[in-house]
Amino acid sequence: MAISSINNFVFQVRRCQPELVAPSKPTPHEFKQLSDVDDQEGFRFQVPLIYFYRHNPNMEGKDPVKVIKKALAETLVFYYPFAGKLREGPGRKLFVECTGEGVLFIEADADVTLQEFGDALQPPFTCLDDVLYNVPNSDEIVNCPLLLIQVTRLKCGSFIFALRLNHTMTDAFGFLSFMTALAEIAQGASTPSIFPVWQRALLNARDPPRVTCIHREYDQLPYSENTIIPLSEMTHRSIFFGPTEISTLRKILPAHLCHCSTFDLITACLWRTRTIALQANPDDEMRLLCIVNLRSKIINLPSGYYGNAIVFPTAIATADKLSQNPLGYAVELIKKAKAEVSEEYIKSVADLMVIKGRPNITAVRSYAVSDVRRAGFDEVDLGWGKAIYAGPAKGGVATVPGLTSFYVPFNNRKGEEGTVVPFCLPAPAMDRFVAELDALFTTQPLVEVANYHNPSFIPSTL
């Protein structure tokens, strides 16, 4: 079990003045509403993503900044809403004014080589502020550019492509369509292979709206010092789940669960161990929000649809039951929560947004997980080959602020394929969390007994 902190090292970045890159051709000046799923409070934040690209001798003489800037201007002809700004109307309804102003772009150089970042690039990246400059007054949700991009050349010929995205516009899978189009055009295509589709009304509330499902993820609970962890107190680590760790976890599940998905397995392990580490009161309700992608599996959205198409089915258990029962208890709860997602569930979420004023997802004793292993970030080839790391720049930035983990595909130093999970907790809780995981993966596991309702049953491995 590899639980890593990120080594700090110092390097200098020289940045040019930020500029706006507008579409290369005139685009319509119009107003486009976001969907009732898009503009909920839980998406009103900025998401940082980062791509690392190696030097490619075949691209000698080509400047990644110029190539990307030119391709960006051409891509915005098709994705022109990104060149506008969000406005807020009655009922907190968000819409895009397609102004054609453009997206913020920064050209930069750093006196560092890719090798100096180490052979295991993984979030969180402590250099993020250097390779993605927060332009003053640019990070509000409304009346600001919708994309911020910085391309930083490294002295070895490699480069870093970092960006910040307004989440109300799109989710990970939707934004990949934009990045794919950018990559295709950077390599010489005149148009994207798949054209973007707006059609946000497909995920709007019904008329009249009616909430027909239970949505515990939107429970409005009172905040207190004991229920919300300040971001300033968080310690960050990355956790690697490779073949050995997955095999160990499967061995301690009862027979009827041993073939569960790796998502369910990792999520159950993290949720249960996190709860133990936090030392919550036994009767406190702990929430696990599973971020579920709706595309194709549940509803048929058009190819090219790039709006938010995710929901947050929630598993709930008291801290006592979650901590004292074996791992299979958490797996069962997670599987049940995910199974509740249906077309009716999605419509009910959109209706709830309209009826209840677009509420936020509760952050009280909540932990959210987002699996972006199949989002395809690492497939984006801007001409220099595939990125050696591509995806979220840090954990704790989404949906439940400070309390969200992303599952990212990763090869460790041994060449093993697995999943890396950025994770954050207060320092004392992180120490307990690491100790719990160490005990789990260094002790010979026992096969779990499916005795989930006996709170005194604790397998010796946990």
Residues with a catalytic annotation lie at: 167, 381
Spatial distance between the Cα atoms of 257 and 333, rounded to a whole number of angstroms: 12
Residues with Cβ within 8 Å of 457's Cβ and at least 6 positions away in sequence, in order, are 324, 325, 326, 449, 451
**Can you read off the two tokens belonging to residue 9?**
């090292």
Neighbours of 336 (CB within 10 A): 11
Please compute, for residue 58, the number of CA atoms within 13 A of its CA located in the half-sphere on the CB side: 6
Spatial distance between the Cα atoms of 82 and 30, rounded to a whole number of angstroms: 12
Beta-strand pair 147-154/103-110: parallel
**Can you read off the two tokens belonging to residue 102?**
């453009």
Quick check: 138 and 436 in contact, CB under 8 A?
A: no
At position 38, the amino acid (one-letter code) is D
CA distances from 228 to 93, 124, 278, 313, 341 (A): 28, 21, 12, 21, 27
At position 287, the amino acid (one-letter code) is R
The DSSP bridge partners found for residue 286 are: 317
Q: Phi/psi at 280 (nearest 5 deg)? A: -70, 160
Spatial distance between the Cα atoms of 15 and 152, rounded to a whole number of angstroms: 8
Neighbours of 51 (CB within 10 A): 22
Spatial distance between the Cα atoms of 390 and 51, rounded to a whole number of angstroms: 4
Question: Angle, nearest 10°, between helix axes 262-278 and 327-339?
Answer: 120
